[in-house]
Amino acid sequence: MDAFPWLDAAIIVALILLNGVFAMSEMAIVSSRKPRLRAMANGGSRGAKAAIGLAENPGHFLSTVQIGITLVSIVNGAFSGASLAVPVGQRLSASFGLRPETAENIGFGLVIVVITYLSLIIGELVPKQFALRRPENIASLVAPLMAGLTKVLTPAAWLLERSTHFVFVALGQRHSADQSVTEEELRSVVAEAETAGVIEEQEHAMITGVMRLADRQVRGVMTPRGQVEWLDAGDSDAEIRAALVATPHTRLLVAEGSVDMVIGVIQARDVVAALIEGRAIDLRALARPAPVLPDVIDAVDALAVLRDAEIPIALVHDEYGHFEGIVTPADLLAAIAGAFRSDIDNGEEAAVQRDDGSWLLSGSMAADEMADRLGLDLPVNRDYQTVAGYLLSEMRHLPETGEALTVGDWRFEVVDMDGRKIDKLLVSRA
């Protein structure tokens, strides 16, 4: 009986490890996040630059990896059967008294099973799991080697890539997948980042607020007409002083008899300057023009208009030219970071969760914010912006106090009406 071929066994283990390098490289580069690779590349990492190049041409790279894995598997299988089957069979024959032919066949099968098991564990599963833990770092480490190998195997890789393309065409499929990130995926990433402790809860809320703002029309963030404070151009000096003392705002609209006849916007400091200088308060002369926006314009576009305006207040009109409200930077900031207590009527929050898990919601609360809290799906093309508008669209009539409606898993009950406006709702699990 010959000595066991330890050198052959070492070669087989080396081939298994080489297979693991290919598997780990494939998983690391495919699963790496391109923004993080770009950040590493901007920091001077050549490996990250090579990994980006491979990720941008995945078909060529994956063909190269598959060639390597296939060749290693073929060589490993043939070499292990030829070099280890006979020695293992001899030891089985000597130990158990089996016939040489029978022992050799059993030894061959045993070698194949053990090599296959080791190839799966050491050559596939462990390297891939390791690559998923730190994909960008591993991709930067192995990318230069893989890039060089890809160049060497370019002819064979090209043949495999074109063959794969023809199969996709025959199946009526696009060869390249859509790599764009959807809004829902981005929301999921942000939520996972909060769960992992990468960002704080308040940061998560602000990021979500920015995403909601980009989807809102200006009428969804404006101060509605009924809540707009304004001065009549015909008011006396005493009435103007009293109004400025009573208001928390530093800028007010100036109108002629009705808020529909807006002249412009007056700043409190201009009035104070006139009083200090002993001049008469002429609201028409002090009023400055304000831009006019349609109520269907995006909130982000409204922000650009306010940034360039002489006074950061814009008048919002509907399609018929009727005055609907005003929008200010404070309105846009409140849509992102939440309303400031000084701007909340009676200091009441728009949404309060009670001990039993139910919610007390303000009718003026943004509908998309309500949907985020309750896990509801709202139609993309909706013609309402608030919780009150959502309930009206579901009920199809003006409700009365105490009237309730069940939508999905939630029961909406009107607990307070302010005239014809839904003021408060109680939302509980159906």
Which two structure tokens, joined as six digits, stand for 159?
């043949």
- On whether the CB atoms of residues 30 and 52 are closer than 8 A, the answer is no
Worst-scoring range by mean pLDDT, 53-57, 68-72, 158-162, 424-428? 158-162
pLDDT confidence band for 153 (50 / 70 / 90):
confident
Domain end call among 143, 170, 197: 170
pLDDT confidence band for 81 (50 / 70 / 90):
low
Q: What is the pLDDT of the chain when averaged over all its residues?
A: 83
pLDDT confidence band for 328 (50 / 70 / 90):
very high
> Does residue 174 carry a pLDDT above 70?
no
Residue 85 belongs to some domain of the structure = yes
pLDDT at site 4? 56
Mean predicted confidence (pLDDT) in 205-212: 82
Same domain, 32 and 56: yes
The CA-based angle 194-195-197, given to 5 degrees, is 65
Q: Does residue 105 or residue 4 have the better pLDDT?
A: 105
- On whether the CB atoms of residues 52 and 133 are closer than 8 A, the answer is no
Same domain, 151 and 270: no
pLDDT digits (tens, 9 = 90+) for 129-149: 989 888 999 999 999 988 888
pLDDT at site 327? 94
Q: Does residue 170 or residue 429 have the better pLDDT?
A: 429
pLDDT at site 414? 92
- On whether the CB atoms of residues 104 and 85 are closer than 8 A, the answer is yes
Name the nearest CA neighbour of 422 among 402, 99, 117, 72: 402
pLDDT confidence band for 294 (50 / 70 / 90):
very high
Mean predicted confidence (pLDDT) in 257-266: 91
CB under 8 Å to 310, separation ≥6 — which residues? 288, 289
Same domain, 225 and 312: yes
Same domain, 395 and 302: no
Can you give the residue range of the structural domain that contains 301? Answer: 218-341
Mean predicted confidence (pLDDT) in 399-422: 89
Angle between helices 100-120 and 6-31 (to 10 degrees): 30
Same domain, 86 and 187: no
Looking at the chain, the whole-number percentage of residues with pLDDT higher than 70 is 92
Query: CATH number of the domain that 358 lies in?
Result: 3.30.465.10
Residue 396 belongs to some domain of the structure = yes
Looking at the chain, the whole-number percentage of residues with pLDDT higher than 90 is 14
Same domain, 57 and 157: yes
Residue 147 belongs to some domain of the structure = yes
Residue 245 belongs to some domain of the structure = yes
- On whether the CB atoms of residues 33 and 136 are closer than 8 A, the answer is yes
Q: What is the DSSP letter of 212?
A: H
Same domain, 10 and 127: yes
Residue 1 belongs to some domain of the structure = no
Same domain, 196 and 73: no
pLDDT confidence band for 179 (50 / 70 / 90):
low
pLDDT at site 231? 92
Residue 123 DSSP SS3? helix
Residue 177 belongs to some domain of the structure = no
Same domain, 350 and 333: no
> Does residue 173 carry a pLDDT above 60?
yes
Query: CATH number of the domain that 241 lies in?
Result: 3.10.580.10
- Number of structural domains (the chain) is 4
Residue 409 belongs to some domain of the structure = yes
pLDDT at site 56? 82
Same domain, 152 and 272: no
Domain end call among 285, 315, 341: 341
Same domain, 358 and 337: no
pLDDT at site 93? 72
Domain end call among 301, 321, 341: 341
pLDDT at site 367? 86
pLDDT at site 55? 85
> Does residue 177 carry a pLDDT above 60?
no
pLDDT digits (tens, 9 = 90+) for 7-58: 777 888 888 899 899 999 989 998 888 888 888 888 888 888 889 888 887 7
pLDDT at site 247? 87
β-pairing, 410-418 with 404-407?
A: antiparallel
> Does residue 345 carry a pLDDT above 70?
no
Same domain, 205 and 261: no
pTM over 0.85: no
Residue 176 belongs to some domain of the structure = no
